[in-house]
Amino acid sequence: MDIKDIRNIVELMNEHGLTLLDLSHKDFHIKLKKGPDLDDLRSLMACMPATVAAPVAAPLPSTGAPDGVPAVPSAPAAPVGTEITSPMVGTFYSKTSPDAPALVNVGDAISVGQTLCIIEAMKVMNEIKAECSGILSAVVAEDGAPVQFGDVLFRVK
Amino acid sequence: MFKRVLVANRGEIALRVVRACRELGIESIAVYSEADVDSMHVQLADEAVCIGPGPSKKSYLMPDRIIAAAEITGAEAIHPGYGFLSENARFAKICAASGFTFIGPSAEIIAMMGDKATARATAIAHGVPVTPGSPIMRDPETALAAAKQIGFPIMIKATAGGGGRGMRPCFNEADFINLFYAASNEALVAFGNGECYLEKLVINPHHVEFQVFGDAHGNFVHLWERDCSMQRRNQKIIEECPSPLVTPELRARMGDASVQLIRAINYQNAGTIEYLVDSTTQEFYFMEMNTRIQVEHPITEEVMGCELIKEQISVAAGKPLSHHVYKSSPRGHAIECRITAEDPYNNFTPSPGTIDLWYAPGGKGVRVDTHVYSGYTVPPYYDSLIAKLIVTGSTREIAVARMKRALGEFMIRGIKTTIPFQQEIIAHPDFAAGTYDIGWVARFIEERKI
């Protein structure tokens, strides 16, 4: 096949409005494509880093080294279990008074209706009660720290 | 002066307060519902506290959560904005009891002027004209005598009436007795009680309100008027300052009455007194008082050269009225369009959703107060106000031309807005002439249907 043949093929393509000609012959294989190569574009897109479309709350996955050690050692492990979130705004206390022991500890079995913590607002100490049962797997809120509506207080397995 | 102020509101007014705080060097604390996490005021405030899920009843209308947010952030004062808890006397009381300064008048004043009957009685007691009326009239002859005293036209109203029943407008003496019987009998049949009273009928009234301000040092002023007659179903769409209807003489009478009232009740902070004006007689009548900042306050700011939100904060902090408020000098003319997320050609159906393109107008004399930006999603839980477009010109003609220009530049893609409808109004000869009353929009919509 020489350049004259190729030019003829191109003219034929234009005449008939073709955008792709893929011709295989026992001696040769020719592929002529008009316009952007969408297949190439698609494979290029697949290689690009995914844009974060999810809302801010979703943490970015940690890029661990091949041996499995997380790149950011202090990053929290993926959360396990049901989250107990704050139903109100106020100051979180894990105990009923400064000298008292914590109301609940990690590993405790908790049942529905059990008081888990106190949230103080407007000089009133509000008892926050469990709405699920299970084993307490994490105390997320800090004793004496302010909490807003929706903040995670505990995790229960 | 306060170091930290909590803004107990959302949307454009919350951003307005955050901006005023920033200019005063005050740290601002935003409270927000989960639906408002991406709102501009939340992003720009110095601190933000989530107080509940989307629905207002579970967030912005919960006094205890707002107070708790103030507690944990160390706020000293709370600005209630407009709507929500801004005219809730109980909230104002709780603020004070919890040790926070409520930026507005006292709980007692809010309660007094918030109740329409008490407000009306207060106005009467302090020499402010109210719509003349009568008590229950025993018989048509007594009623006629009272009607003559009040002055025609009169609305004969059955005290037990409702839904438009038992009401008869009467325009002259000759028809009065017959109409009185008609109203009375209709009510007797429908409600079992034919007792009637009288009220002066203001034909095609204009809504003209006065901005007032008081401080704790005995200073009480008015800052001229705003004409808010362009309303649809009692919702303001367009406002302007000054009113095309109000002459200097009328302004003096209304202004004096307004200042007299707030001085008599020792009204602190910003407030607005709303009047009905009869353009034919130049009589004005007290309707109600709003004990808070109004949505349309920017047009007063532009014409009077004052800073109303900052003034609210500084007066609440105990300072006397600023010189530029006390001795304001009006200049020019301002018009505001309330841009709402509603479809004006589909019965103003709300149009929440994501705005994928937002381009707000600019240039000389254009001010846009908004919390919205490209990519923002208008939540479905709240009122539909997304922006206030305020233009100022040295004359009313210039302001009108400027509003036409600015509305034409405003690009909001992704939701329906009232902009095309407001363009029609601004282009209408009645608006150019300044001859529109409270019933204008309803008539305009009716005419277009035919």
Which structure tokens are listed for B302? 């532009």
Write out the E strands in B233-324. 235-241, 269-278, 283-290
What pLDDT sits at residue B116? Answer: 72
Contacts B73 to A, Cβ<8 Å: 146
Residue A77 contacts B where some CB pair is shorter than 8 Å: no
Residue type, B337: C
For B167, B180, B187, B191, the CA distances from B163, given in Å and listed in that order, are: 9, 18, 11, 11
What pLDDT sits at residue A69? Answer: 39
- Residue B226 is among the residues annotated as catalytic for this protein: no
Q: Is B7 a residue whose pLDDT tops 50? A: yes
The verdict on a CB contact (< 8 Å) between A88 and B68 is yes
Contacts A118 to B, Cβ<8 Å: none
Phi, psi angle pair for B398, to nearest 5°: -65, -40
Residue spans of chain A under pLDDT 50: 49-76
The 10 Å Cβ neighbour count of residue B349 is 12
Q: Is B28 a residue whose pLDDT tops 80? A: yes
Residue type, B211: Q
In 3D space, the residue among B390, B387, B376 whose CA is nearest the CA of residue B241 turns out to be: B390
How, if at all, do strands A152-156 and A134-139 pair? antiparallel
* Coil, strand or helix at B316: helix
The verdict on a CB contact (< 8 Å) between A148 and B64 is no
Give the model confidence (pLDDT) of B349-364 as tens digits: 999 999 999 999 999 9
According to DSSP, residue B133 is labeled B
What pLDDT sits at residue B85? Answer: 95
CATH of domain B206-449: 3.30.470.20
The 10 Å Cβ neighbour count of residue B82 is 17
Which residue matches tokens 């007659």?
B229
Phi, psi angle pair for B213, to nearest 5°: -150, 135
For helices B248-265 and B116-125, the axis angle rounded to 10 degrees is 110
In 3D space, the residue among A131, A103, A105, A107 whose CA is nearest the CA of residue A117 turns out to be: A103
For domain B4-103, is the CATH number 3.40.50.12780? no
The whole-angstrom separation of Cα A26 and Cα A9 is: 18
Give the global pTM.
0.79
Sequence-separated (6 or more) residues with CB below 8 Å from residue B408: B423
For B129, B295, B432, the CA distances from B236, given in Å and listed in that order, are: 24, 10, 18
- Facing A122 at nearest CB: one of B52, B71, B73: B71
The whole-angstrom separation of Cα A81 and Cα A77 is: 12
Residue type, B164: G
Contacts B377 to A, Cβ<8 Å: none
CATH of domain B140-200: 3.30.1490.20
CATH class of A82-156: mainly beta
For A30, B58, B109, B319, B375, the CA distances from B130, given in Å and listed in that order, are: 93, 38, 19, 33, 48
Asked if B54 and B43 touch (Cβ cutoff 8 Å), the reply is no
Asked if B325 and B221 touch (Cβ cutoff 8 Å), the reply is yes
pLDDT cut 90: percent of chain B above it: 84
Which structure tokens are listed for B380? 């479905």
Mean pLDDT of the region B419-427: 98
**Which one has a higher pLDDT value, A38 or B198?**
B198
Name the CA dihedral angle for A38, A40, A42, A47, rounded to a multiple of 10 degrees: -160
Residue A150 contacts B where some CB pair is shorter than 8 Å: yes
State whether the Cα torsion B420-B426-B431-B436 is positive or negative.
positive
Domain ranges of chain A: 3-47, 82-156
Asked if B419 and B410 touch (Cβ cutoff 8 Å), the reply is yes
Region(s) of chain B under CATH 3.40.50.20: 4-103
Residue A146 contacts B where some CB pair is shorter than 8 Å: yes
Of the given ranges (A29-43, B9-23, B244-258), which has the lowest mean pLDDT? Answer: A29-43
What pLDDT sits at residue B243? Answer: 98
The verdict on a CB contact (< 8 Å) between B72 and A149 is no
